[in-house]
């Protein structure tokens, strides 16, 4: 009489799977329900509560049902994940789950967000970058069900508008309380957003520490006036916001911000006057990115004397910067650990020699820089 492996008790299967590594356990879990239960029982016994799935070949519910105490689930790039698949996985409250990554799950819509808001009320981190079918209705559902949310990534969710940001910020209390505890909010490449969104954020999300508005072409200097008194804000990314100019930087500097990081790279209306404003009102910055801005040695001169705590300075593709600017940086920014000089074609060996003497310097980007023939001869 032959004995098949299917005759083994679940406890014995779990012992056998205990000799497999995590990857092989995942493969074994796809064979059948009994093997799945045994494999995930073993994962639980080892205390594994953070799971990343690179490709979904079976139902997501297999994973969810097998790990009752799961804390982090990363499904980033699972292109075949649908609302139906997620709906079958989330059928009851999962109080332990704190982080869910659905980035680039392009078939996910507001329907899934309804499930998440209903059953994952303890969620603190939600990644939806590239989920281009999410709309303002989805944000309303999030604002209704996920009051504990601390970090939300909505990168390239192209359908979102000021209305959706209003939901998050608690501007529609009759329908949803809002996610008023948010500390990090990424709105990169949300093209429909305007200054009204920034007004909502400033009024409702007072505890926000990080705000990414890069590539949001609809915001302007006037919107930055709303942000200028957000005392908790520490990092602001305005990269490639085409309508931001020196006036907007003035608004930020004249407010009560205590920023440690500011990125205005590729804002081609930002120039030397902005550096003067930064020196006056944003002198606590640790990181400043000005790549491709219209700044010169004069602007550097107006800034460096007040920025002694600066650690990272990115001025790549600022083609008006010369050795004089580098000498000013070397003289006054002694705490600098990293500098980007990519595409700064007017600097020479002389300026670089000064920069490399900075005592804390660890990172130096010199892409596209070439030594001149006269310097090679020396």
> What is the pLDDT, as a whole number, of residue 52?
77
* 69: Cβ contacts below 8 Å, ≥ 6 apart: 44, 49, 96
Are residues 36 and 29 in contact, defined by beta-carbon separation less than 8 angstroms? yes
Is domain 1-48 in CATH 1.20.1280, yes or no? yes
* 191: Cβ contacts below 8 Å, ≥ 6 apart: 158, 215, 216, 217, 218
> What is the pLDDT, as a whole number, of residue 314?
98
> What is the pLDDT, as a whole number, of residue 53?
75
> What is the pLDDT, as a whole number, of residue 373?
45
> What is the pLDDT, as a whole number, of residue 349?
93
* pLDDT values of the chain reduced to their tens digit, one per residue, 378 residues: 466 666 655 556 666 666 677 667 666 666 776 665 556 555 555 556 777 777 776 678 777 776 778 899 999 999 899 999 999 899 999 999 999 999 999 999 999 999 999 999 999 999 999 999 999 999 999 999 999 999 999 999 999 999 999 999 999 988 899 999 999 999 999 999 999 999 999 999 999 999 999 999 999 999 999 999 999 999 999 999 999 999 999 999 999 999 999 999 999 999 999 999 999 999 999 999 999 999 999 999 999 999 999 999 999 999 999 999 999 999 999 999 999 999 999 999 999 999 999 999 999 999 765 555 444 434
Reported CATH class of domain 50-219: alpha beta
Q: To the nearest 10°, report the CA torsion of 79, 83, 85, 90.
A: 120
> What is the pLDDT, as a whole number, of residue 326?
97
Q: How many residues does the chain have?
A: 378
> What is the pLDDT, as a whole number, of residue 227?
98
Distance set, CA 265 to CA 233, 271, 322 (Å) = 19, 11, 19
Domain extents for the chain? 1-48, 50-219
């Amino acid at each position: 009489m032959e004995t098949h492996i299917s005759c083994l008790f679940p406890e014995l299967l779990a012992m056998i799977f205990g000799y497999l590594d995590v990857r092989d356990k995942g493969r074994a879990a796809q064979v059948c329900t009994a093997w799945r239960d045994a494999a995930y029982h073993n994962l639980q016994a080892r205390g594994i509560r953070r799971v990343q799935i690179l490709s979904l070949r079976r139902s997501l519910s297999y994973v969810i049902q097998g790990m009752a105490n799961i804390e982090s689930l990363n499904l980033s790039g699972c292109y075949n994940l649908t609302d139906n698949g997620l709906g079958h996985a989330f059928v009851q409250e999962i109080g332990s789950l704190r982080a869910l990554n659905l980035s680039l799950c392009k078939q996910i819509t507001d329907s899934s967000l309804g499930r998440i808001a209903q059953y994952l009320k303890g969620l603190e981190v939600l990644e939806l970058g590239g989920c281009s079918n999410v709309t303002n209705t989805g944000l309303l559902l999030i604002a209704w069900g996920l009051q504990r949310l601390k970090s939300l990534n909505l990168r390239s969710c192209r359908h979102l508008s000021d209305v959706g940001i209003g939901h998050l910020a608690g501007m529609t209390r009759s329908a949803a309380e809002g996610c008023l505890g948010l500390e990090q909010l990424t709105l990169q490449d949300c093209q429909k957003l305007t200054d009204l969104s920034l007004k909502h954020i400033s009024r409702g999300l007072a505890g926000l520490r990080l705000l990414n508005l890069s590539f949001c072409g609809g915001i302007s200097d006037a919107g930055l006036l709303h942000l200028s008194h957000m005392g908790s804000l520490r990092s602001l990314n305005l990269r490639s916001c085409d309508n931001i100019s020196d006036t907007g930087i003035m608004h930020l500097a004249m407010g009560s911000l205590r920023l440690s990081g500011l990125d205005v790279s590729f804002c081609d209306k930002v120039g030397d006057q902005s550096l003067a404003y930064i020196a006056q009102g944003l002198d606590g910055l640790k990181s400043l990115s000005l790549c491709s801005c219209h700044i010169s040695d004069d602007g550097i001169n107006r800034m460096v004397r007040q920025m002694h705590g600066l650690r990272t300075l990115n001025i790549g593709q600022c083609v008006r910067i010369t050795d004089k600017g580098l000498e000013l940086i070397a003289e006054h920014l002694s705490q600098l650990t990293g500098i980007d000089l990519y595409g700064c074609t007017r600097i020479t060996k002389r300026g670089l020699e000064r920069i490399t003497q900075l005592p804390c310097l660890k990172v130096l980007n010199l892409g596209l820089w070439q030594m001149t023939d006269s310097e090679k001869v020396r």
